[in-house]
Amino acid sequence: MDEKKTNHETGFSSDALKNPQRVVFITRKTSAKVKADVPPQVMTYPHLLLRESIAFYVLVIALVLVALLWDAPLEQLANPLVTPNPAKAPWYFLGLQELLHYFPPFVAGILIPTLVVIALIVIPYFNVNVEGEPIWARNGARRFRIFLVVLAGLALFLSVFRAWTVLVPTILIGALLVYSYFAAPGRGHFPDYLRSRAVYWWVMTWFIFVAVVLTVVGTFFRGPGWSWVWPWRGYGG
Amino acid sequence: MATTFQEALARLRETHVWKSIFRRGPARTNRTRSLAVFGNLFLHFLPVKVREKTLRVRATYYLGSISFLLFAILAITGVLLMFYYHPAVPQAYRDMKDLRFVVSNGVFLRNLHRLAAQLMVAAVFAHMFHVFYRGGYKPPHEFNWVVGVVLLLVTLFLSYTGYLLPWDQLAFWAITVGSNIISAMPFFGKYVRFQLLGGNVVGENALLRFYVLHCVVLPLIAVFFVAIHFWRVQKDGGLTVRNQDGRKEN
């Protein structure tokens, strides 16, 4: 309270209630509308910028340490006459390259990426289920039947193309959905969490899971002729 | 010691020169702290105040900030690398060897650039998925989400064009595989591939085109959209904290 403030001390209080900065005159019959639930706010300078600076320092230190210990790869001079087997794209395209193994180039290389980008762009303009209603909350039995038909159709389609590395993660996510439908409420945190998820959550989680599995398989489990190899057997990557 | 330094700093902030540069004295009051943000060209796209809850680590994991910081590191290390690089066959590969064996700290420079590039792709993906699960794309943030998708594509293309520049086997065949996919596009696949590579095969022209795209065109596009992205965060009312059900939490 009685601390002597030196002239360089800035203080960190930015609570407008404690340090009023503004006087408002409210005359009769023209009362200002006041929002009741304004959340607590702090000043960007210094609170946000201080945190960003710390994040920046930590990131740079970590990067420098890794860059000192781990060398970027450099192979032989490019030679169009010597094709490595397999020739792999950068890691973030290996999911697509894995799809290319199963589907015709137009489908895997053009159609699916285009549809994914379009789907990502239209996400905020599809105001379906803004409230995030849990998937089985209403019409549970009917929705479950629809889900089973969709899952069976998808599984059949992927089996016809023998796209096993897409089929397996799809089945796993499907199994989680079936589990969330049948699990009794209040039996634990995990089933309750799953049951409270909305449709959009399931679709995105399925998409990310499939993408991660495809990328990992393409990066570590594919060898000559795009055949399946085990990374610990010395090939791949 | 610390006090002496702080006092010196405080005195510096009162000087005429300091005020002439920063257009304000020490940021002691809320007014001068606001000025520190909107009176600064590089900070003025930030909001003056932020909700306390959006500062929690779990609200963002700083993924957007990390993506931007990685981009800044890439710009700095990239410019330094440009001093040692010729976009020509086979000089490009020799420059990689020079970076390793001749240039002081050349390996470190290239490692840093490559590592930050890989991390930036990962960070941008993580940022997007985290924003999705947080419901950050919901009104009024719809358009900023779309700008974010554009930035994801720009990031991927930046990384992809940079992949060719070392001109080793890894680079050459990765770009060959990637550009072959483009030719599967109906009607103008072959044409687009020809324009991108400056020929029918990945050769000298492709290297030059990728170099110009990587060092000039795409960074400019990225800066342009990053500016819109940041500015819109502020204009759309700052970050929104939502609970697990995706509803707004004040």
pLDDT of residue B238: 83
B35 found inside a domain: no
What's the domain range around B225? 62-235
Q: Which chain A positions have a beta carbon within 8 Å of B168's beta carbon?
A: 74-78
Q: How confident is the model at residue A233 (pLDDT cuts 50, 70, 90)?
A: confident
Distance from CA of A168 to the nearest CA of B (A): 22
Write phi, then psi, for B168 (nearest 5 degrees).
Answer: -105, -175
Of A13-27, A157-171, B86-100, minimum mean pLDDT range: A13-27
- Say if residue A3's pLDDT is above 60: no
Chain A residues whose CB is inside 8 A of the B177 CB are 87-89, 97
Arithmetic mean of pLDDT over chain A:
84
Q: Going by C-beta distance under 8 Å and a sequence separation of 6 or more, which residues neighbour residue B204?
A: B88, B89
With a cut of 70, say whether residue A32 has pLDDT above it. no
Residue B102 covered by a domain: yes
pLDDT tens profile B112-128: 999 999 999 999 999 99
Q: Is residue B229 part of a domain?
A: yes
Residues 6 or more apart in contact with residue B184 via CB below 8 angstroms? A104, A105, A106, A109, A110
A107-144 pLDDT, tens digit each: 988 899 999 999 999 988 886 666 678 888 888 899 99
Tokens coding B240? 């929104």
Q: Which residues of B touch A14 (CB under 8 A)?
A: 30, 33, 49
Task: Inspect the interface and report whether the beta carbons of B52 and A40 lie closer than 8 Å.
Answer: yes
User: Is residue B103 in some structural domain?
Assistant: yes
Residue B1: what pLDDT?
58
Reported as a pLDDT band with limits 50, 70 and 90, residue A156 is: very high
pLDDT for B250: 45
Residue A18 pLDDT > 80, yes or no? Answer: no
| Residue A86 banded pLDDT, cuts 50, 70, 90 | confident
Question: Total structural domains in chain B?
Answer: 1
Residue A237: pLDDT band (50, 70, 90) is: very low
Portion 13-52 of A in contact with B at CB < 8 A: 14, 16, 19, 21, 37-49, 51-52
Chain B residue whose CA is closest to A12: B28
**Model ipTM value:** 0.88
Task: Find out whether B174 and B181 touch, Cβ atoms under 8 Å.
Answer: no
Q: Which site among A43, A103, A214 would you substitute to test the B interface, given the most B Cβ atoms closer than 10 Å to its Cβ? A: A43
Beta strand B49-51 with A41-43 is antiparallel
Amino acid at A226: W
**Rounded mean pLDDT of B213-223?**
97
B12 domain residue, yes or no: no
Asked if the Cβ–Cβ distance from B7 to A6 is below 8 Å, we say yes
- Do B49 and A43 count as a contact with CB atoms less than 8 A apart? yes
Residue B22 lies in a domain: no
Q: Which CATH number goes with the domain that contains B214?
A: 1.20.810.10
User: How far is the alpha carbon of B85 from chain A, nearest alpha carbon, in Å?
Assistant: 15
- pLDDT over 80 (residue B110): yes
pLDDT reported for residue B246: 52
**Residue B33 within a domain:** no
